[in-house]
Amino acid sequence: MKKAHWLLLLPAGAIIILDQLSKIWATRIVRTYETIPLISGILDLVHVRNRGMAFGMLNRVGNEWQSYVLIAATLVAIAIIVFWFSRLENGSHGAVIGLSLVLGGAIGNLIDRVRFREVIDFLDFHIGHYHWPAFNLADSAITVGTLWLAVHLLFFSQTRSESRRRSKEYKD
């Protein structure tokens, strides 16, 4: 196997399964727009639907075209992730893990968009009256994967490239 495909597929698959199971669980426990405190004053279990994008942007009723645009945008993002993976060098495990988390999160939310034309969110983090927009496990995976990729690209990919260049110069 040229690349660690399992490193892309295994975490992505786990994220998809956990995301969908957690959404089923949350929708069975919490009625739409209900709130159940988990950690008083910090974290609540909620049940909201997001027809828009990240952080509830463009979350409006009646824009049927919007769900199709978001589905298409997600499919393009998935294609870019797969293309990026195909272009990575062997041993780029850090980048592959980040891509896998983003891929799993994107597919998890895509399943909701295709099934319901909206995404189920159920975690509400807040401090007092200051709320972070409600989110789900797929959103968390996308965020962590993006940060993981950023750290990897900023701090580790150049080091490996310089090591290869120095190694090649040493051999010559």
The residues carrying an active-site annotation are 121, 139
Asked if residues 109 and 97 have their Cβ atoms less than 8 Å apart, the reply is no
Q: Rounded distance, CA 83 to CA 117, Å?
A: 27
- Tell how strand 35-39 and strand 130-131 pair up: unpaired
CA-CA distances (angstroms) from residue 109 to 25, 57, 101? Answer: 16, 15, 12
HSE-up of residue 165 (Cα within 13 Å, Cβ side)? 6
